[in-house]
Chain A
Amino acid sequence: MRIVVTLVLLVGLAFGATKKKEDEIYLVKITPDIPYVYVDHKGVKVKVMRIQDTNHLLTDDYSKTSRPCPPFCIHPIKVDKRVKTVATVEVVKFMRDKVNSGKGIIIDARLPKWYYAETIPSAINVPFTFLESNPSKEKIVAFFKLLGAKEKNGKLDFSNAKELLIFCNGVWCDQSPRLIRNLIKYGYPADKILYYRNGMQGWKLLGLTTVVEKGNFIKNSQTK
């Protein structure tokens, strides 16, 4: 009995030590109980965490405060009353719970050059232009099928369609709202769409990991 108690204590201490060590390693966590999450970006395992340097400041394009409005005006919180707007923590949880289990897809609605230059890990690129200019029915059906819709008796069944979390550059960017409106217009269920309004600027502002794609090479922003 004594041995069992000692063992339990030792395991408890060891666990506590590991936990403490982790707390020390991750000074800047995502939430108190999420220091990081792992996600797959085109076959590459990416650790999504925040920059640990508490003196770090943004210096790139996303540090810019003002862009001409129109067209870069601040968007309202809701893109459509049926579409839920989410914040950064929900994106991390979506990665962990939905993307990792294959139930959800993160979509970067910006133009490909932007996507390849830097994006949120695991995101796939569907530029907002994709569903503009009167897309053909074949194009829409092919696209929706790849998102998990099934064709039954000439109609699309969305019951197993993926949940989509869509973002673009930030609150001033109208690319994801446009893609969302078009998705709904062509029949994708609005309750399966989430709008990450803060977008890339919001993601970067919190020092979260991004990925850069050059050819077949995928670079993690937090690895040197």
Chain B
Amino acid sequence: MTRLLIAFFLLFTLGNAGPTTSELAKDINLAGKQRMLIQRMSKEALMVALHVNEQEAKKDLKKDMELFSRTLQGLLQGDKELGLVPVEDQKIKEAISDLQKRWAPFKQALEKVIDGNFDKKTIEYIKKNNLDLLKRMNAIVEMYVALNKGAKIKRAQAINLAGKERMLSQKIAKDVLLVQYGYKDQAPILREDKKLFARILHGLQKGDKKLGLEETKLPWINKELHKAQKMWQEYEKLAVPKKLSKEKLRALVQKSNLLLSQMDKITKMYEKSINREKRARALSQLVSSFEKQEQEAKHIINLAGKQRMLTQRMSKLALMDALNIDKQKTQKLLKNSYQLYDKTLRGFLVGDKELQLPPAKNEVIKKEIAKVQEVWKPFKKSVEQVLASQGKDPNALAYIIADNEELLKRSNDLVQTFKKEYATHNFLEDARKEIVDIAGRQRMLTQKMTKEKMLVTLGIDPQTNWKKMVTTVELFDTSLKRLMYGDKKHYIIKPTNPKLVAQYKKVASLWQELKPLYLKKKNSPKELNRIIQKNPILLKEMDKAVKLSEVVLEY
């Protein structure tokens, strides 16, 4: 159910958060293309005026005017065919509406050129006003790029500036044509435009901090940028503020169009690369959300396993306290252990940020937790009494001794419920959970056998506790062998990771020293002391092995 919710959440967030990354990329591209159209229309009007490919220029001019009007409207109200979504940002809306008003008289001037009903004043109007339109269109593009701050498109500025190159390719041709028409004051503007074109092209390839461009690292785009560089070198030679022959002007116009197509191709590639980046990100988000669930399951099973150990540790420490062994330290450890058990158990039910536990939603798990709580409440009270009486409350100690096994049993039932409820039905995950469970149980067994040894030493039901201890020792022994040498039945493969093998060897060597001491009927005080001293080390090393087996890349 949680997985389903996450999938829905992902779908929702990926699909409905304002303009999506790809929609925004499209808006930036098409708004940017409008800048180019302003310049291309001006260029085409001048071609008509100068009789350079006149008929073709008229046809193109008409098409460009229609496209410009449609895109402007599309940016404002959306256009499915063009892939545009209606703009939501109020400032952009106002700026586009304002531009639409200014576009109307400019359009009329262009229509006059198409109809052949123009004079020098018309050209003068176009020369003067195309730059104003361009400036305003550019401001709109910048506003779209600024929207990207929330969308985090890495290459938004690249789309913008690669798009701007389309405009510049046309503006440069227009500048040259204006010079031909007699506007000599256009020469410095032409120089500036050429400089800017070259700088952006270089910036797209190698990066330009001031322009906000990162080096393009995508080989397929670099290849096209390299082609554009070559085209630019040829075009640049023709784009000079000199009187040019009709033939050269035709070549200039042709090269400007080729460069425009190339820059358009590059802009679209940037736009596509964003979509690809977006897809890869969404895929990894989708996958990792499910992976997180798996990790969470392993973490919960590990903590539940640790609870088993704590039940035995508390019992062992309560006995040590009664025996006045390291009184202060023992009491402190006992307090820490019972607080941790309590916190973890509560965490299983209501969640715990510090322990990274989510609240339980599964009814079966909730019921199992309630069963543990039933036994834990009186047990907890007894531990508190042991602590308050400095180990002098025989009833509390007796309760702990008598009921710790029931608490252990219920804690273990909870581990098995978690394992069952988080079942994955695949070999690797099952194997991992099995290993984490067995290795985790080993930690508990280290505590249990020490507790039982102490009960025997104290003469508390010595025969039963001796039997129990022998069983615990045997279980620890066989489990360690299963972890070290593998167990096909339980999907455990013999570990080969050197770190893990070394850690198990360390545990085995400690165990080799301790095992005969546990199994000795009567121990000297020195031997008992060694058990008490070495037992926490065995626990610590076993804990290291559990953690390693959780993270090591064994399969």
Contact = CB atoms under 8 A, between A and B. Distances in A.
A117 B552 CA distance: 11
Interface size class of B (residues with CB under 8 A): 35 or more
Interface string B247-289: 0000000000000000000000000110011011011101110
A126 B287 contact: yes
Contacts of B276: 102
Interface stretch (A11-19, A24-32, A78-86, A108-116): A108-116
Given A44-B217, A64-B496, A129-B429, A136 B4 contact: yes
A129 B218 CA distance: 31
A130 B291 CA distance: 8
B17 interface: no
Interface in B290-320: 290-291, 294
A114 B428 CA distance: 13
Contacts of A205: none
Contact of B4 (A101, A124, A139): A139
Contact of B283 (A43, A44, A64, A146): A146
Contact of B424 (A100, A125, A126, A129): A129
B425 A127 contact: no
Contact of B279 (A68, A114, A128, A146): A146
Contact of B291 (A102, A127, A136): A127
A136 B272 contact: no
B335 interface: no
B183 interface: no
Interface string B1-38: 00110011011000000000000000000000000000
Interface size class of A (residues with CB under 8 A): 35 or more
B426 A129 contact: yes
A138 interface: yes
A112 B291 contact: yes
Nearest to A112: B291
Contact of B425 (A44, A100, A133, A136): A133
A40 interface: yes
A112 B288 contact: yes
A129 B4 CA distance: 16
B7 A136 contact: yes
Interface string A59-96: 00100100110010000000000000000000000000
25 contacts: A39-B219, A40-B217, A45-B217, A100-B219, A100-B220, A101-B220, A111-B555, A112-B287, A112-B288, A114-B553, A125-B284, A127-B291, A129-B424, A129-B428, A130-B287, A132-B424, A132-B425, A133-B424, A133-B426, A138-B7, A138-B11, A139-B3, A142-B11, A146-B282, A178-B426
Interface of B: 3-4, 7-8, 10-11, 154, 217-220, 272-273, 276-277, 279-280, 282-284, 286-288, 290-291, 294, 423-429, 486, 493-494, 496, 551, 553, 555
Given A43-B277, A129-B290, A142-B10, 5 more contacts: A45-B217, A102-B276, A114-B553, A124-B284, A132-B424
